[in-house]
Chain A
């Protein structure tokens, strides 16, 4: 299992467009991928789950990746966050 945290710098937070991009990225991996904010964790492959978290600027999120391709997924997702959010 892999974990990392990230503090959102995008002024709009995880709004629809980055949420869509995140879901698309996560869906590309077999691993179980969760995104957590304030103790509430949701499946990062569902658009309603991700948007429903209402993640805004300066909030910290935790990503948990569990599965056969977790190393690669963690790397790609970390890159995704630093480039887009």
Chain B
């Protein structure tokens, strides 16, 4: 038995065979062929098959990541059908009397070289696309099938790390758990694991060897351990742990519909964080009382250009309607720092986390802000929408926001468009500055929501993208907890409510602390709703 230790990103136990995610490394041999016509026919058949594969990927991507991101698979199809590309392959087969694999490989090298030689970093990067489609062709030709993952039965997916295009391709019904060599808690694998509620351990290092492919293994997502070729004793212990976990989940199911109330009668709201409209199903399934944080960024990240008022309106309206009268708190765009969108044309910054982002963009480019506000207010007529503004540091910012909101309302009134006058307005508390002036801020707004990720980053002066700083990143740091306490005190002193929507809200070790502080709402990922409800109901 080999025991590997990594960092857990989602609890639970997974037992199954390891399927190692393989990146294609092809060796192409040059082989002389007599019948070049037959070879061309073989190429054409492989091309048809490769195009079918790409169509499948395109459909899958459409469903999972939206039209803008799925387009790449359509472009890959066009590349395979490209006249020049095909002509080159045909020519090489005919004139050099060689196998199709070699012709494809040589053509791919030539076309990739053309892109690599262009004086534009973006186009140079497209060389990878040429290679990608050509490798797909060669794989079909040589009967290797599609690269990536091959497993008929559900398996533990092992990889160095997975990029978004790879996660799109994963058949999620075949995934028991994830084990990766690298990656941070914010990597795609980690996010996917949390969304899918499956056990995952990351950062196992190079000891996680591709040789483990096909071997029996156990992921213990509670302890962050992965056991390869587990001995009987470990297997038995882990099966018990898995069973215990299953019972726990059953128990949690029983908690559906129950109140979030402590033994002594203190109540708290439990809402869910979502990143797109498709997550609403999970919110309802896990019995959340509302949406505490709807990240509107996805509308901007998925698009090639600014999303129109209509586009935004239809999404917000759908969210409001789907939640049927329950509260939906939508955060206005939080672009900048680690979330970059090309068409915003933001300049490169020395310190993006301290830079031009979120509300700072909205207040200096009011046309972008107003489009979003109009969409939000129009959608307010269809449910219980609340609006929340990110990255606030000063009272004047809030006053300025309220001025812009009034302008938007006035416009809508003049246009005879219906909206709710009493939409709740709140701000994110995620800077130490906002905490220090929280009493004054509370006078201006209806609620606070604490973004613990940024608040921790700014309070501890630690870049959360930097893996090296993980040992210093202590989310339970007393300074952070004191910040939260002060903000809660200020909100309550002004008769306003306060919630937590960052990662810390889901930290079961802190639930009791938050209850003591009198936090009114916790907003967490949908899969954490019921575990926290259980914790609350067990608290005195």
- Bound Cα distance A84, B476 (Å): 49
Enumerate chain B residues within 8 angstroms of A49, measured Cβ to Cβ. Answer: 82-84
The interface residues of chain B, by DSSP majority, are classed as helix
Size of the A side of the interface (Cβ < 8 Å), in residues, is: 20
Whether a CB of chain B sits under 8 angstroms from the CB of A34 is no
Contact between A51 and B126, CB atoms less than 8 A apart: yes
Is the C-beta of A60 less than 8 angstroms from some C-beta in chain B?
no
- In the complex, whether B369 has a CB less than 8 A from a CB of chain A is no
Chain B contacts with A in 108-130, Cβ cutoff 8 A? 111, 114-115, 118-120, 122-123, 126, 129-130
B74 within 8 A of A: yes
Contact between chains at A54 and B118 (CB < 8 Å): yes
Asked if B152 is at the interface of the complex by the 8 Å CB criterion, the answer is no
CA gap between A51 and B85 in the complex, in Å:
13
Which residues of B in the span 65-124 have a Cβ within 8 Å of any Cβ on A?
A: 68, 71-72, 74-75, 78-79, 82-85, 111, 114-115, 118-120, 122-123
Q: Is A16 in contact with B72, judged by CB distance below 8 angstroms?
A: yes
Task: Tell me the nearest residue of chain B to A52, going by C-beta.
Answer: B114
Contacts A17-B71, A51-B115: A12 and B123 contacting too (C-beta < 8 A)?
no
Q: Are B342 and A11 within 8 A (Cβ)?
A: yes
Q: Is the CB of A80 closer than 8 A to any CB of chain B?
A: no
The list of the 3 closest CB pairs from A to B, nearest first, reads A20-B75, A47-B78, A46-B82
The reply to whether the CB of B304 lies closer than 8 angstroms to some CB of chain A is: yes
CB-CB < 8 A to B343: which residues of A?
Answer: 11
The complex places the Cα of A19 from the Cα of B301 at a distance, in Å, of 20
For the complex, is B422 an interface residue (Cβ under 8 Å from A)?
Answer: no
Question: Are B123 and A54 in contact (CB-based, < 8 A)?
Answer: yes
Whether A24 and B114, one on each chain, are in contact in the complex, defined by CB atoms closer than 8 angstroms, is: no
Interface flags for A34-62 (1: CB within 8 Å of B; 0: not) read 00000000010111110110101000000
Q: Give Cα distance in the complex from A15 to B271, angstroms.
A: 41
Q: Inside 8 A of B78's CB, which chain A residues have their CB? A: 20, 23-24, 47
Is the Cβ of B345 less than 8 Å from the Cβ of A47?
A: no
Contacts of B79 in A (CB 8 A): 47-48
Contact call B126/A16, Cβ cutoff below 8 A:
yes
Beta-carbon contact of A46 and B83 below 8 Å: yes
Q: Which residues of A contact B114 (CB under 8 A)?
A: 48, 52
> What are 28 residue pairs bridging A and B, where the CB atoms are less than 8 Å apart in the complex?
A11-B343, A11-B345, A15-B122, A15-B123, A17-B68, A17-B71, A17-B75, A17-B304, A19-B75, A20-B75, A20-B78, A23-B78, A24-B78, A43-B83, A43-B84, A45-B83, A48-B79, A48-B82, A48-B84, A49-B83, A51-B115, A51-B123, A51-B126, A52-B114, A52-B118, A54-B119, A54-B123, A56-B120
Nearest-CB residue, chain A, relative to B79: A47
